[in-house]
Amino acid sequence: MGYIQRGTHTFKMVNIALFAGGFNTFAILWGTQPLLPEIGKEFHISPAVSSLSLSSTTIALAISMLIAGSLSEVFGRKPVMTISLFASSILSILTAFSPSFHLLILCRILQGISLAGLPAVAMAYLGEEIEPKSLGMAMGLYISGNSIGGMGGRIISGILTDHFNWHVALAVIGMISLIASLIFWFILPKSTHFKPRKFEIKKLVTSLFVQFKEPGLLYLFFTGFLLMGCFVSLYNYIGFQLIVPPYSLSQTLVGFIFIVYIVGTFSSTWMGMLA
């Protein structure tokens, strides 16, 4: 079987599927960010403590991604991504019914674990199935789905919280994500170039840590760590400032500050094409 080429029907299906998958993952991951003031108010906790509803998920996601990528070497790219999307969507709906902050954190940790399947595997899938000269654009489109998911999840949750409450907001995001999971499952082509490995823990661990022997990759990992740390911290706490005087913004307007993500949506595709 040949590689998938740009301009073909299969290429479009791959990009739509991964766009839907990226939307699912990052809408769920970041959907609670504009809700932190409401979560803090309901459970009578400080801004720092309420932010655990987001940081606990990202920490669990970061650790689980290291494992999910290795598991996909054994069980296949599409199965791992599909299970990840459906599990995280169902957990998102269940999270909406959390009666206590401790249960909310537990659900969010489980979400972080289940969310890891797509971001850990999607790039590997594209690298194996897309022809090299079309790979940059395909990766850029996938990342644009991530950014739209992150933006859409925040805006939707902000609007719904204003009209209902944060419980309804998370439930709706979960249902939208479930639809996105179905789209992903139905239209993503099966891997044709994937070669499974036997389940050998030693080899899986070796393939995981061999990346840390390359200095260039270590610099990239550290840069990503610093940039994402600053990015997440800023958006975690800015909502607490914007809902009180002198701004006194509604949850809807606080959610719309994430519309700046549109810049990343277009630039990621553009940079992919340039690369």
Asked, for residue 243, whether it belongs to a domain, the answer is yes
Asked, for residue 61, whether it belongs to a domain, the answer is yes
Asked, for residue 4, whether it belongs to a domain, the answer is no
Instruction: Write the CATH number for 137.
Output: 1.20.1250.20
Backbone phi and psi for residue 247, each to the nearest 5 degrees, phi listed first:
-85, -50
Which residues have a Cβ under 8 Å from the Cβ of 248 and sit 6 or more positions away?
A: none
Supply the pTM of this predicted model: 0.84
Asked, for residue 136, whether it belongs to a domain, the answer is yes
Asked, for residue 8, whether it belongs to a domain, the answer is no
Two tokens, residue 25: 């993952």
Write the pLDDT tens digit of every residue in 79-116: 999 999 999 999 999 999 999 999 999 999 999 999 99
Low-confidence residues of the chain: pLDDT under 50? none
Asked, for residue 3, whether it belongs to a domain, the answer is no
Write the pLDDT tens digit of every residue in 165-179: 999 999 999 999 999
Write the pLDDT tens digit of every residue in 137-173: 888 888 888 888 888 888 898 899 888 999 999 999 9
Which residues have a Cβ under 8 Å from the Cβ of 139 and sit 6 or more positions away?
A: 123, 126, 272
Which residues have a Cβ under 8 Å from the Cβ of 28 and sit 6 or more positions away?
A: 88, 89, 92, 111, 115, 153, 173, 174, 177
Two tokens, residue 167: 């419980």
Asked, for residue 258, whether it belongs to a domain, the answer is yes
d(CA 25, CA 122): 12
Q: Work out how many domains the chain is built from and give that number.
A: 1
Note the residue count of the chain. Answer: 275
Reduce the DSSP state of residue 191 to 3 states and report it.
coil
* Structural domain boundaries enclosing 45: 17-274
Asked, for residue 80, whether it belongs to a domain, the answer is yes
